[in-house]
Amino acid sequence: MLIDMSTSSPAASARSTARTRRTHDDAPDTAHQFARLNSLEAGPERGAVRDEIVTAWLPMAHRIAGRFRDRGEAVEDLRQVAALGLVKAVDRFDPGRGAFESYAVPTITGEIKRHFRDRMWALRVPRRVQELRNKVRIARRELIQNPGSPEPSVADLAARTGLTESEVGAGLEALESFSTLSLDAEPPSGDDGYSLADRLGGPDASYDTVVDRESAKQGLRSLPERERAILYMRFFEDMTQSRIADRLGISQMHVSRLINRSCERVREEAMGRRRYDGGA
């Protein structure tokens, strides 16, 4: 009995697998160009060969970029990023370490993911939060891919991703925080015509009043009782200097001098304490 070793040996099986393995239409054979590229010194000729290789593989880079469409970035911009990754792959590729496609695909994909991580976020967020966002986004897409599927709950997303509900919550917040809104934008749930800027708080002058009162307390306590009474009648009971003078049986001019002197003393006491506290 004769056995056909050409079809049963491991080497023959590997050759058969290589012949039947499906390759992409955008995976050209550029082994000859790479060999030539590595044999040339830096110069115009080497640059021309490099450009030839990049041009040949550019459709593959565009195909990879297409996987990331509908993520808030224009397809043309994604293609530019993919082309940059392709150029890096060509420059770094060592033909002795395997097929170029096996090296280029992760290099280009990594460049696009890096673009989303570093350039697309309006605010810099921790890597951990970005990873949570991606897991939640993928899980949500899988859970609602069938028509009529309800919006998944936090518990559903947690079960799908293996994350805690707290982590899912952080991921959901990050989904809404990928980009910032202008202060002139109208809130999504509002129909009153007001912008976000209209809802921002402003400086409250009452805080300054509290600071001033606290600063003046010590100085007021150190005043003689008559001066404290005069200041109370003038500034808290809103009495005129003439009425205060009549009540105390002194002249209006004397009341005026006492008010000015007391206020100056309280002011100096407060400013001295502020300088002391600031220096401390």
Of 97, 119, 141, which residue constitutes the final position of a domain?
119
Whether 194 has a pLDDT exceeding 50, the answer reads yes
Residue 124 pLDDT level (bands cut at 50, 70, 90)? low
114 and 45 part of one domain: yes
Last residue of a domain, one of 70, 88, 119: 119
Domain membership flag for residue 186: no
Query: 98 and 57, same structural domain?
Result: yes
- Residue 84, pLDDT > 60, answer yes
pLDDT digits 0-9 by tens, 143-157: 888 777 888 899 999
| Domain total in the chain | 3
Q: Is residue 148 within 8 Å of residue 166, measured between CB atoms?
A: no
The mean pLDDT of the chain is 80
- Distance CA(190)–CA(205), nearest Å, equals 29
Are 220 and 245 found together in one domain? yes
- What's the whole-number mean pLDDT along residues 36-40? 87
Domain assignment present for residue 229? The answer is: yes
pLDDT at 200: 74
Residue listed under structure tokens 């200041």: 231
Q: Where are the beta strands (DSSP E) in the chain?
A: none
Higher pLDDT, 159 or 117: 159
Residue 17 located in a structural domain? no
On the question of pLDDT at 25 being above 80, the answer is no
What is the structure's pLDDT at 21? 39
Q: How far apart are CA 130 and CA 178, in angstroms?
A: 9
Mean pLDDT of 200-209: 75
Residue 187 lies in a domain: no
What pTM does this model have? 0.44
* Structural domain contains residue 213: yes
The torsion angles phi and psi of 87, rounded to 5 degrees, stand at -60, -40
In the chain the first and final C-alpha atoms are separated, in Å, by 102
Domain CATH for 95: 1.10.1740.10
Please tell me which residue, 55 or 38, carries the higher pLDDT value: 55
- The 10s digit of each residue's pLDDT in 155-180 is 999 998 999 999 988 888 877 666 66
C-beta separation of 175 from 121 below 8 A: no
**Burial annotation 6-40 (CB, 10 A radius, 16+ → b, else e):** eeeeeeeeeeeeeeeeeeeeebbebeebbeebeee
For residues 211 and 246, is the Cβ–Cβ distance under 8 A? no
- The answer to whether 75 touches 69, Cβ cutoff 8 Å, is yes
The answer to whether residue 200 is domain-embedded is: no
pLDDT of residue 5: 40
Q: Are residues 165 and 212 in the same domain?
A: no
User: Which parts of 67-184 fold into alpha helices (H)?
Assistant: 75-92, 100-119, 127-143, 154-161, 165-175
User: At 260, which CATH number?
Assistant: 1.10.10.10
In a domain, 195, yes or no: no
Model confidence band, residue 58 (pLDDT cutoffs 50, 70, 90):
very high
pLDDT, tens digit, 9 for 90 and up, residues 221-261: 888 999 999 999 998 899 999 999 999 999 999 999 999 99
Q: How many CA atoms lie within 13 A of 65 on its CB side?
A: 21
Domain hosting residue 74, numbered range: 26-119
What's the token pair of residue 171?
Answer: 């991921």
Distance, CA of 133 to CA of 177 (rounded, Å): 10
